[in-house]
Structure 1
């Protein structure tokens, strides 16, 4: 062998360079994968039909494929003067450690094995998995006339980076709330994505290519960048998007089905019923039948629950048949609103007559076709004018059933005010004694908006009652009864405690809703120990009293003025704000108002009725607002229902505004979604 043959065996170590644009792309892919995986991980905490491990697997695939794609896009960004190719079998197999590492993370977070030893063990396994993916992926690279060598100190450092990132990722996951705000999720996904990419590029710093000297001086493209890039990006984007969209979409459809339909009868449920009634608010030809099932408990006990379920299904078919026979509307407006009640809505001309014919047919059919002694009674109500709320239909139909009791079995009756009003009040008194606060009382929150800046400044707390037997009962009906019987005071204390719990949860989510306002009745203001009860609740939940506000009407103060004023003053000494509701509709003198211990007044929505065309009314409203300012009080204008109302109010000196134009009363979950959307919209408008 001559000297030239020996020269061919001389090798030199070289390092490559990175394409910065592809480096950025690889990091973005890692961030995108992290965001998708976090989103999928949230589905673990939804009560759906899909098993939680399904979401763990999908999140693992999303995260694992994202890490794998980031690695190969990073390799595409790496240029070295040597001809390279890939062992595609080893390349594909290298994704397995990444998926396994991600699975360990999500499984660990879900199982909540949060001890420090378990956390260290799990993060170590996960970190080794990520490092294994990286270096097995490197082994898939075939370098012609050369080989890959490593600086082992650098390799150890890259593995330590993987372990550290794994520890941080697991710590975040086990402390991840069930519902994160979008911007928080973006920040966390960015940290995870950058961390995973850091491990890759740290590993590349420890990588060298031993090339024969003759090859090192040749001009090679390194690898087919376009081919690898297309494959990597396509795999990552398609896998992440398809897994995320398909799985979450499927689960949402299941959730929607569960949320809106009764699983036994496949009828729309109470939520759909309420939405339909609300949609018919302006219609004049609306009637309602509530079909109550008698003896269902006896059937369940005497025969079996399966027999009871089958009996209900037979009844539903009878109702559907009677509906189709008597009503021309193609849409089947039949709803299962509770275990023993099925609602039928009529939206046709002469609803009263058609409801009565329907009821006769249904009762006759049930006598012929129903077994096991199941009987029904039917309460009917009709909406006489467009000024009557559809909510009243529900209340009236329930009043018929309540007033007649077992005497209505096998019969129907139409609501009449003279016969049924007193019976409903007596029934409300009885049900209030049996009320289950946690199960039947529904708390809603309506945002208050800062005038001029339009930022969220607070929420007003509103309460609804969904009685198991009577159904939905409007506040203006049950609250007076609760005040009269004294039931309002324990309800109020329960409400304050519930709200304080919710305020702490909002803080955990990083949401600032401003002051939370709760309405007080005259009966509560007269309770001498009320302020002490509030103090105990505030201390129990460690709530800042300055974040609470209590609203009261002038009439509630005057009814027992001495005790009411003492209570209000005691609340203010705690640091709680107080507000006078329905300002401008009372009868006080300015002197009386000036000495009331209040911080804010709320102008009643009645002042906004027809105000857009009423110049005198607009000036009068400004005068009332100015009066509140003169008394050094904050002024809230409620009843903002459209942009015209807003135009009238926004240039006044009112401090806050409130109304359906911004949002209707919402549950705490709905408020979170609204807050997220409103925050982004308001921020965008400012920009």
Structure 2
């Protein structure tokens, strides 16, 4: 008898499911008719066997309850999974959004907010492996959640985190955040490897702006953190929002500016250590509407983020090639001119083919063009970037790495790159004349001397950027630097001024 009851209960569950599928398959009116007929058939069929419509009703409603319970179980189970990270079990952004930002009572109380990430996190993946990197992310959450002033901590995506704090003053917020980052500033597997953070914070003054704008404000502040090898905490200000909308406007203008020839190519000369002109670096300037002169730092970053930097890179390359063709036709002495290639440009499909097309269309010898890559270009897909570099060298172009020493390029990677020149960042040059009593300055000088020694042993030219004083030049020459670039000889200048220097060779 009991088995019979289970059988009929199972029968009604299947019947309801089949009816639901039928409901999905047909139009609304046929659903209604078909469903009523199906239920009527069930009642009729069962009543013939048991002659007990009440029992049929009991089976039917028990089946509904069981189906409802199963549905609720799976909804709750998978909803909870959707709120937590798979590896670390940490709450994610959607938990914070649903439980805090959509909670009117909580949102109406004063709070502070921060959004932060780990600088150069990809290098941890590359150097130590994904398991160690995942442990770093888990540790950030574990340590932060123990802080009494942290009300909520979630992992947003990749190495990005967000946290909500109790009401704090701006000074208290920065102090507590820095203390938190100090607790997680190294790898447990290798304490000598320092971890740096980039954090955007929103004080209680701006937290009343609402659920949509507070995270936006924090991210605006976060992207201001661009200094290498340093943890930065930037508190949001209204000027950042103004700057953001200005950036959006600038990006929209780039295609027009290129068409109207508002972008101007300057060249900064390079000299060998004895003072002889050895080349030039093409740099971009923007004479916006021909009444506002903008330097690259005020627009290049925005153009890169918008994915339009390749337009500028190829514009500079074509401008340089056009001038070299003119100088050749006038029998003017020539030196190689370097063109900066963004990490985004070098990864676009057919980059080298496009570059060859531009250079060859002006009949420019390849050895007169040098492509400069920044060290950060190697952060993504290193093997692919190195393969592109090798292809560039195969075409007899010169190749240099800019801003060396500001990132985390390994020596193993350096030996794989077919470089002609290693450009040493200005920050190392600035430390040359500083008192060696400061431990960090002394270490920087030791690093610089070893970089110069290493380039010599690798048969790679070295070029120090930002040289401004005679004493800097003298020390660099003594340490083995082969080329210099900076105001000591020349600032960046319009192409026609560089042409005058060429005519005097």
TM-score, reference length from structure 2:
0.49
TM-score, reference length from structure 1:
0.36
Q: Which protein is bigger by CA-based radius of gyration?
A: 1
Q: Which has the higher helix share?
A: 1
